[in-house]
Structure 1
Amino acid sequence: MTKLPFSHTETQLPLLIFLLSSVPFFVNSQFSPAERATLLNLKQVWDDPPALDSWNATSSPCDWPEIQCSGEGSVTGIFLKNCNLSGSITDSISALANLTVLDLSYNFFPGNFPTAILNCSNLQHLDLSQNLFVGNIPANIDRLESLNYLDLGANNFTGDIPPAIGNLTQLKSLYMYMNLLNGSYPVEISNLANLEHLGLAYNDFRPAVIPPEFGKLRRIKYIWMTHAKVFGEMPESFSNLSSLTHLDLSSNDMEGEIPSGLFLLKNLSKVYLYKNRFSGSIPPVIESLNLVEIDLAMNKLSGEVPEDFGKLKNLELLNLFANELHGELPPSIGLIPALKNFRCFRNNLSGELPSEMGLHSNLEAFEVSDNHFTGNLPANLCAGKTLFGVVAFNNNLTGQIPKSLANCQTLRSVQLYSNSFSGEVPPGLWSAENMTSMMLSDNSFSGQLPGRVAWNLTRLEISNNKFSGEIPSDVSSWANLIVFKASNNIFTGPIPQGLTSLRQIITLVLDGNSLSGELPSEILSWKNLNNLNLARNKLSGPIPPKLGSLPDLLDLDLSENQFSGEIPPQLGQLKLTSLNLSSNYLTGKIPIEFDNSAYQNSFLNNPKLCTANSISNLRSCYAGFNKTKKLPPKFLAVIVVLVLALFLITILMTKYLVRDCKRKKLNRDLATWKLTSFQRLDFTEVNILSSLSETNMIGCGGSGKVYKIAVDRNGQHVAVKRIWSDKKVDYLLEKEFLAEVEILGSVRHSNIVKLLCCIASDDSKLLVYEYMENRSLDKWLYGKKRELRNGVVLDWAARLRIAIGAAQGLCYMHHDCTPAIIHRDVKSSNILLDSDFRAKIADFGLAKILIKKGEANTMSAVAGSFGYFAPEYAYTTKVNEKIDVYSFGVVLLELVTGRAPNCGDEHTSLAEWAWKRYGEEEPIAEAIDEEIKDPFYLEEIISVFKLGLMCTSPLPTSRPTMKEVTKILLRCKSLDGKKAGKEYDVAPLLGEDKYISSYRCDSKKLMDEIDNSLVSLV
């Protein structure tokens, strides 16, 4: 043996050991050519996918990334998760005699369970989850007697779980969640003595109770996965499950009491029983000292909170919210050293809060709202410097805000409204580095507002307190503020000009103060303002005409002030849902847009205002006309005849002159028009230009008018959008025009509106689309439905078809276009319907091609429509596809509820309204549009409602992609229909992608995000 060249022999042995331990050691690099042939055969059957490019006839399978080999070179593991594979699993796989691990999850394998796998008798780990398998699970599944892990989740298996499953005695993990299993629950699972993980969520087992055999088990360890369709009471024999570590029975609609022996299990670590119907008391004796997380929320539990919770030194999460608990909280809960999250809101708890809460732990969330707590807020909630939320509203708490919170830089949200707090807000709390929301209304706080607040503060609510002084002049530094409510305080002085520079502000409510002076005239920065309430102040001067230029303003209240002068006619441009200008000193005529009974209470106590249409409580502008001398009847008749004759002559002459002028102008200017075609056309620019008259106009948007124009004698029509007509070119409008032409001119998809051509001149740009006979979706969902639809009802089948079509269009934009396309203005009015009610995405004037070379992925301004844009869209100019997902989620909620996107309760959006209903556990069925309340489709409709909630999650990362949304919608089937032997057939919607009709949701996690997002939202 050659010696290592070291000068000291005593160092050679340790160095040699180190070098040998640092280099991979292979006992034998040989491999079986037969096994390589088997793998290459599988690759060929799977259509030679790109993911398996490394599989070739010249290298060893042991060198392929997806293959694991034993020391002797035999194939022992195949890892092909998420490789976009499809096809069959042939009998040749049985040639891999030493195969112990097979992972084919997250692929597209169709057909029945691949029985060839049953010949791999040495398999220990089998994962076929997230595929397209159908049919029954093999009755002889026990041939895989060495299995310790089996995952068949998220497929389309039907029938029973075979009794033979009980013979797989080595199983530790068994998952069959999210299938169509509709047979009996197999009591043979009770034979699996080593079982630790059992997942049967999202199935339709016939029995509605836990089998009695489960009450006789003595050694089984299991986790009952989330959402499995199991009902009835939990067995009292949980004390037999001595090795149980994780228990998840959440969202099962289970009832009865929590077994008294549950918390006696020594090894229990995590218990999730939330969102059921458990009643009775929480077991008072707790011996499971290893508990880390306990979630008993959203049940019907009563009684007191057990003192024994204080013994759990490792407890990090304790959720008790939305129950019927009463009594005081045990002081010992404040002594738990590991506690991070404590939530007990919406109960009947009383007494004082544990005084040492937060002092001994790194508390992150403290939520005790909607109870009857008294006394002070614990002084050391942020002792660990990790607290991000204090939610204690709707209690009877008193005293001042603890000064320690002023130094808590991790705080994001403080919600203390509806209590009896007093004193001044600690200065440091206003400017806490991460603060986004302060809600302090309905207390007795005093003091003045600071000049500087947290840089990211978006919501400030301090109504019904005793704040005083002037609104700071440097309020312009509150740049990210979206909601500012300060009603019924003692603010004085003028409204500072800086307040009008808040570009993100949506709600501004300052009523019930002593503000004076004139309202600033320069208010154009309030482009997003939705609600302006300045009532009951001492404001004077004229109402600024520029209020009429705020495009999103819906609610305006300037009542009980000292405004004078005429009402600006520009206010008539607003689409107000509420207006109140009462009790001022306004004069002159009411603008014609408001001179009707809908606004009859909007102008009370303005003696010098008058009405032309005799609004009640207002004087007529023509009150003195009848006092003049009347003309003789014959003379009056002659005047009428002469006026009518002159009028008819004028109309005829004008029509002739206008027609002649148009014809001459068209002939003269036709050469200046340039037509660019994107499709084969049966018309010319002459057909279009000669018909651009007001009589053909069918709509008017923010960037131009839309015309319906006939282009042949057979009744074919096109829709023409005229972008501008001024001689002076508008840069922003031209940018919209170029964006829409660039995108639509290159896009080809059946669910995206077809751009036929564009016609351009120096002073006008025309886009010519295919005409959609049934106009836009919003016209069918709300508003004056019966007038627009002539009694035609948009039933659920049609609505689901529309949702799928729109989702497919957006999915194509996000996932199939290179580079990807983001729409930025998805809404029901931009979803058009053809004669067969097929949906097509329209209006790409605000769209943006992502990752465009040479341009940053940002937007210069927030675009979109109120009620549709995602929360983060108001905070940042960075955008991605998730803003379209949020907007589409709002459309799904519109389809289910029939409500407009901004028609929630108390000025909330539809998405906020839906989340509030869901969080308060109000029945979703009551929110469904009456026109589609069909019991046959009820579960399907509720599923789409929940999908809308997922899409409108406050966190962009929690929202699904449009590809996932499309798959879920395509998979929608009526559960009631299946029970009746029917199915809702979506196959005609699929086109060439017929295989997708058997999709299940791509991820169980995605379906769980509804509940997780709700907890985060609260």
Structure 2
Amino acid sequence: MTSLPFIFTTLINLLLVNSQQFSISEQTTLLNLKQKWGNPPSLTNWNNTSSSSPCNWAEITCNSNGSVTRLNLQTKGLTGAIPRFICELQNLQSIILADNYLTGEFPRVLYNCSKLTQLDISQNAFVGKLPDDIDRLSQLEYVDFGGNNFTGDIPPAIGTLSSLMYLQLYLNLFDGFIPSEIGNLSSLEVLGLAYNGFANPEIPPEFGKLRRLRKLWMPQTNLVGKIPDSFANLSDLELLDLSSNKLEGEIPSGLFLLKNLSQLYLYKNSLSGKIPSVIESVKLVEIDVSMNQLTGIIPEEFGKLQQLEVMNLFSNQLSGNIPTSISSIPKLRIFRVFRNNLSGELPSEMGLHSKLEAFEVSENRLTGKLPESLCGGGTLFVVVAFSNNLTGEIPRSLQSCNKLHTIQLYDNSFTGEFPSGIWSLYNLASLRISGNLLSGKLPKRLAWNLSRLEISDNKFSGRIPEGISSWKKLNVFKASNNLLSGEIPIGLTNLSQLSVLYLDGNSLSGELPSTIRSWSSLTTLNLARNKLSGQIPPGITDLPHLLDLDLSENQFSGKIPPQLSSLRLTTLNLSSNNLTGRIPYALDNLAYENSFLNNPNLCASSPIRNMHNCYAGSTKSSHSNKFLHKIIAMIVVLSAFVILVAILCILFIFRGYLKKKQKLDLTTWKLTSFHTLKFTEANILCCLTDNNLIGSGGSGKVYQIEIGRHGEYVAVKRIWNTRKIDQTLEKEFLSEVQILGSIRHSNIVKLLCCFSSEDSKLLVYEYMENQSLDKWLHGKKMKTNRGLVHHRVLDWPKRLQIAIGAAQGLCYMHHDCSPPIIHRDVKSSNILLDSEFKARIADFGLAKILTKPKPGQANTMAAIAGSFGYIPPEYAYSTTITERVDVYSFGVVLLELVTGKEPHAGDSETNLAEWTWKHFSEGKSMVEALDPEIKQANCYMEEISLVFKLGLICTSTVPSSRPSMKEVLEILRRCDSPSSEERKVGEEIDVAPLLRRESYLSNYRRNGNKVAHQSIDILDGRL
């Protein structure tokens, strides 16, 4: 019996030794992992000292036996692949490797981790397909593979992981189908498939069997068809996001019967029909069904949604009144119903029972008054109600709404005196009330941060106050067509940030202030239709960024300052004044023929319409000089005639030789015509000389050839080889002929005909006078038929016009051609410009027609095509061709237009797209990145910002995150709409969903598709 304690002690010691040896073995495995992953500095605490047990390391969790069960190495800078020996940690249940630099295909080595229940490898750079036997990880409960480069189909086997509760596959390159087998995951609570380019899938009805599902997250996944009625069975559903897809049909009434549903996002689809009126979703916090085709009325039952905070119904076809019950929702913060067909009066108690922040009802047919209680909660930030039929006075209660940032009430019928307290609201930045019947006087002081003030087409009267010098932040001031009188105060010229000033159509008098140099940012000055007098102050020529000047219909006198010609004006109007003397030499041409009308004492040297010549009526004392000049002129003409006759004789002899030579050569050429031609083969072949050469590249040379007596030209591309046409050039020629010979679009260069011989191929195009975009953006000077022109004349309106034109051409190729056409070499040098800067897409030598692939196959390419700086990153790991290749390249062109930089101009390690993303993600000002030539175009800054962001989105590293060319064109057209200067803040919602996809990118993109880790809560969040 005395030996029992000894035996017991011995057994305990043996167990402790075994446990210690086990820990040492796992410690060795962990240290090997550290070494295999590049010894990241974040793991310096991992070492093999006896006092350092792995269970004490912050990244390690152990069980009661001291064995590793959890490995959390999120955001540790790991590189390389996942090594096979990781599963030597035999009790490992949880592996979290999110937000690192791990590469390779899916790590099958994890099949050996038999106890694995949680696997998070999101935000890395894994490639290839998910394996078909992924169900070998049979214990998995939590899976996050998001933010990688996985391609192909989601394997159906994933539907046999019966314990799975959390499945995230967002932001990859999946381009196959969504397996219906996922509907078998009876324990699934979270499913995220967002931002993948699935092959136009319908939502599997089997998803309706996921009774425990709380979150279904599928925006921008190419969904088509209808929302399954089976979704009415998802009794636990809290979040449903199917936004930005191609869904159609009606919204299933069962969705509004889900009592746990709190967030419903169906915006930007093609849903139709009425909004269901039977509503039992008592927990609904946000509803967004905007940008669809919904009809009918807004249900009165919405008033029952007592938890509702956000209601977005804008951009539909809803009609009828806004239900009064909505005004009683106690938690309503955001109410947006703009751009519908709503009518009737606004609910009178709107804002009285909730802390309303945004009230946007513009572009409807609403009548009556603006509710007095809008700011009842004291939290109102935005009021947007323009383009309605609202009447009455503007509520006086807004005078105490100190959080108001934006007021847009223009194009209504508001009357009465404008509430004086609104002028000085502390946070007010934009006040736009043009197009009403408002009266009152301008205040001496404005809100300290007010940058945009638009009061045109009202009845404001009195003088412009001298205290206007305190309006320091004002950037845009539009007060056209009011009853303002008196002189323009000197204080107005002290507003250094002012870029746009409209005071036309008033009764202003007196002289312009002579000292106006403080208007250093001014781009537009319109003082037309007033009673201003005196001389045009020379100081106006010191405004370095002035583009538009209109002083017409005033009483200005004296001479036009000659320095005015030094400004780079795009529009000038000095008509209907009392100006005298000669028009300055640089302005004395037909480009300004309508700029000086109705100035009787003004003369011109050139034959400008309705302007008398400065030399008419000269005195007789100059007759002798004129006679001498005539003699000299006659001598010069006779000499020129003799020389011309000699040249003609030589040309006549040489012409006979050419005709003889051409007659021999024409028999070897084959002509294929695609349009009616105004020339013959001889016209082209005889002019392929160096004198007509305008460009050359890898495939040959380009010539400019005159085909008529009136300055008509064609461009001829000669594809040739000193030996014979090689196979690559032959393919380029055939591709160009096949595509351009069969399509017709005003933004695609017109192929007139082609010639072919044994060793040469000729492509004859319409001639683009302003050549290619890259020469205007990146060339110092370029030659046109009118001489040398500096690229600096490419102002922002022209740049936007070019972007829209090129987008129209690409959109036609991608969406209107059957089958679609991918250009594969979109770049600024392949965007040609005609005499009016209308853009044409050119050079289709690398283009590919997307014929329908055979089942199980995809459109692929044998080699990388494109140009450095424009090549999308997926070329590094995929040979699949999609339209998103062109979208990426076009995004680079947009960034060129905005920044002025060349596509390969980033820094030592990045191209333009990468540099711009780095600049943006580091929070730097967009203005710092702009081309200096447009940086001062403040009146276009909203448009420039929108195009800048659009360029970023188009150059996303994940193809599925890029918009289609149809989306790109829609956004660009909004920038250039006739009411572009009248766009509201809410217009940014067209870009916001696209930017939302990219909010997961890290500070700068690493390893091609580096995505910063964020929790699922942030991913589910709203922009």
Q: What TM-score, normalized to structure 1? A: 0.67
What runs of 5+ residues in structure 1 fail to find an aligned partner? 1-27, 645-704, 709-775, 807-824, 843-848, 851-856, 876-881, 921-945, 968-995, 1014-1018
The 5 Å alignment of 1:745-894 reads 801-802=868-869, 830-831=900-901, 865=932, 867-868=934-935
Matched letter for residue 40 of structure 1: L
The 5 Å alignment of 1:183-332 reads 183-206=176-199, 208-214=201-207, 220-332=213-325
Other structure's SS at 1:134 match: strand
Matched, 1:56 2:47: yes
Matched, 1:38 2:29: yes
- Aligned-pair CA distance for 1:435: 0.5
- Residue of structure 1 equivalent to 2:468: 475
User: Can you list the C-alpha shifts for 1:495-548, whole angstroms capped at 9, x where unaligned?
Assistant: 111111111111100100001111111111111111111000111111111211
- Residue of structure 1 equivalent to 2:389: 396
| CA distance in 2 between partners of 1:919 and 1:792 (Å) | 35
| Contact 1:504-1:526 within 8 A present in 2 as well | yes
- Aligned-pair CA distance for 1:123: 2.4
User: Can you list the C-alpha shifts for 1:701-747, whole angstroms capped at 9, x where unaligned?
Assistant: xxxx9999xxxxxxxxxxxxxxxxxxxxxxxxxxxxxxxxxxxxxxx
Matched letter for residue 390 of structure 2: L
Evaluate the alpha carbon distance shift between residue 164 and residue 795 of structure 1 in structure 2; reply closer, same or farther with a 3 A threshold. closer
Matched letter for residue 560 of structure 2: I
- Aligned-pair CA distance for 1:381: 1.2
| CA distance in 2 between partners of 1:405 and 1:75 (Å) | 63
- Residue of structure 2 equivalent to 1:526: 519
Evaluate the alpha carbon distance shift between residue 283 and residue 530 of structure 1 in structure 2; reply closer, same or farther with a 3 A threshold. same
Matched letter for residue 287 of structure 1: E
Other structure's SS at 2:79 match: coil
| CA distance in 1 between partners of 2:570 and 2:871 (Å) | 32
| Contact 1:185-1:207 within 8 A present in 2 as well | no
Evaluate the alpha carbon distance shift between residue 252 and residue 384 of structure 1 in structure 2; reply closer, same or farther with a 3 A threshold. same
- Aligned-pair CA distance for 1:414: 0.5
Other structure's SS at 1:447 match: strand
Matched, 1:493 2:486: yes
Evaluate the alpha carbon distance shift between residue 303 and residue 913 of structure 1 in structure 2; reply closer, same or farther with a 3 A threshold. closer
Other structure's SS at 2:253 match: coil
Evaluate the alpha carbon distance shift between residue 890 and residue 276 of structure 1 in structure 2; reply closer, same or farther with a 3 A threshold. closer
Matched letter for residue 53 of structure 1: T
- Aligned-pair CA distance for 1:865: 3.4
- Residue of structure 2 equivalent to 1:160: 153
| Contact 2:265-2:288 within 8 A present in 1 as well | yes
| CA distance in 2 between partners of 1:40 and 1:919 (Å) | 49
Matched letter for residue 488 of structure 1: N
| CA distance in 2 between partners of 1:442 and 1:167 (Å) | 64
| CA distance in 1 between partners of 2:318 and 2:190 (Å) | 31
- Aligned-pair CA distance for 1:74: 2.4
- Aligned-pair CA distance for 1:171: 1.8
| Contact 1:782-1:898 within 8 A present in 2 as well | no
User: Can you list the C-alpha shifts for 1:33-89, whole angstroms capped at 9, x where unaligned?
Assistant: 222111111111112111221111111122222222334432222222222211121
Evaluate the alpha carbon distance shift between residue 1010 and residue 299 of structure 1 in structure 2; reply closer, same or farther with a 3 A threshold. farther
User: Can you list the C-alpha shifts for 1:915-957, whole angstroms capped at 9, x where unaligned?
Assistant: 999867xxxxxxxxxxxxxxxxxxxxxxxxx799859x9xxx9
Other structure's SS at 1:223 match: strand
| CA distance in 2 between partners of 1:570 and 1:1010 (Å) | 59
What runs of 5+ residues in structure 2 fail to find an aligned partner? 1-18, 638-778, 783-826, 848-863, 874-894, 913-918, 956-962
Evaluate the alpha carbon distance shift between residue 861 and residue 546 of structure 1 in structure 2; reply closer, same or farther with a 3 A threshold. farther
Other structure's SS at 1:349 match: strand
| Contact 2:831-2:841 within 8 A present in 1 as well | no
User: Can you list the C-alpha shifts for 1:247-273, whole angstroms capped at 9, x where unaligned?
Assistant: 111111111100011100111111111
| Contact 2:927-2:935 within 8 A present in 1 as well | no
Evaluate the alpha carbon distance shift between residue 393 and residue 81 of structure 1 in structure 2; reply closer, same or farther with a 3 A threshold. same
The 5 Å alignment of 1:144-183 reads 144-183=137-176
Structure number with the bigger relative contact order (C-alpha 8 A, sep ≥ 6) is 2
Matched letter for residue 396 of structure 2: K
| Contact 1:572-1:593 within 8 A present in 2 as well | yes
Other structure's SS at 2:1004 match: helix
- Aligned-pair CA distance for 1:863: 9.7
Matched, 1:351 2:351: no
User: Can you list the C-alpha shifts for 1:70-117, whole angstroms capped at 9, x where unaligned?
Assistant: 344322222222222111212211122332221111222111111122
Matched letter for residue 508 of structure 1: L
- Residue of structure 2 equivalent to 1:445: 438
| Contact 2:185-2:210 within 8 A present in 1 as well | no
1:564 to 557, 561, 569: 557
| Contact 2:899-2:930 within 8 A present in 1 as well | no
Evaluate the alpha carbon distance shift between residue 1001 and residue 592 of structure 1 in structure 2; reply closer, same or farther with a 3 A threshold. farther
- Residue of structure 1 equivalent to 2:604: 611
User: Can you list the C-alpha shifts for 1:326-355, whole angstroms capped at 9, x where unaligned?
Assistant: 000110000000101110000001111111
| CA distance in 2 between partners of 1:160 and 1:521 (Å) | 71
User: Can you list the C-alpha shifts for 1:785-813, whole angstroms capped at 9, x where unaligned?
Assistant: 9999999899999997445799xxxxxxx
- Residue of structure 2 equivalent to 1:553: 546
- Residue of structure 1 equivalent to 2:327: 334
| CA distance in 1 between partners of 2:510 and 2:524 (Å) | 21
- Aligned-pair CA distance for 1:199: 1.3
| Contact 2:440-2:460 within 8 A present in 1 as well | yes
Matched, 1:963 2:963: no
- Residue of structure 2 equivalent to 1:659: none
| Contact 1:889-1:948 within 8 A present in 2 as well | no
- Residue of structure 1 equivalent to 2:711: none
- Residue of structure 1 equivalent to 2:361: 368
Evaluate the alpha carbon distance shift between residue 914 and residue 805 of structure 1 in structure 2; reply closer, same or farther with a 3 A threshold. farther
| C-alpha RMSD over aligned residues | 4.7
Evaluate the alpha carbon distance shift between residue 616 and residue 779 of structure 1 in structure 2; reply closer, same or farther with a 3 A threshold. farther
Matched letter for residue 47 of structure 1: G
The 5 Å alignment of 1:867-1016 reads 867-868=934-935, 904=976, 950=995, 963-964=1004-1005, 996=1007, 999=1009
| CA distance in 1 between partners of 2:549 and 2:574 (Å) | 8
| Contact 1:302-1:325 within 8 A present in 2 as well | yes
Evaluate the alpha carbon distance shift between residue 622 and residue 790 of structure 1 in structure 2; reply closer, same or farther with a 3 A threshold. farther
| CA distance in 2 between partners of 1:537 and 1:154 (Å) | 61
- Residue of structure 1 equivalent to 2:587: 594
- Residue of structure 2 equivalent to 1:990: none
Matched letter for residue 267 of structure 1: N
The 5 Å alignment of 1:78-89 reads 78-89=71-82
- Residue of structure 1 equivalent to 2:421: 428
2:536 to 533, 536, 543: 543
| CA distance in 2 between partners of 1:592 and 1:330 (Å) | 66
Evaluate the alpha carbon distance shift between residue 217 and residue 182 of structure 1 in structure 2; reply closer, same or farther with a 3 A threshold. same
Evaluate the alpha carbon distance shift between residue 839 and residue 918 of structure 1 in structure 2; reply closer, same or farther with a 3 A threshold. farther
- Aligned-pair CA distance for 1:566: 0.7
| CA distance in 2 between partners of 1:253 and 1:280 (Å) | 15
| Contact 1:469-1:493 within 8 A present in 2 as well | yes
Matched, 1:380 2:450: no
User: Can you list the C-alpha shifts for 1:142-185, whole angstroms capped at 9, x where unaligned?
Assistant: 23333222111121222322222112222222111222223332
Matched letter for residue 550 of structure 1: L
| Contact 1:950-1:960 within 8 A present in 2 as well | no
Matched letter for residue 1004 of structure 2: K
Evaluate the alpha carbon distance shift between residue 315 and residue 299 of structure 1 in structure 2; reply closer, same or farther with a 3 A threshold. same
Q: Could you tell me the percent identity over the aligned residues?
A: 51
Evaluate the alpha carbon distance shift between residue 515 and residue 805 of structure 1 in structure 2; reply closer, same or farther with a 3 A threshold. farther
Evaluate the alpha carbon distance shift between residue 32 and residue 790 of structure 1 in structure 2; reply closer, same or farther with a 3 A threshold. closer
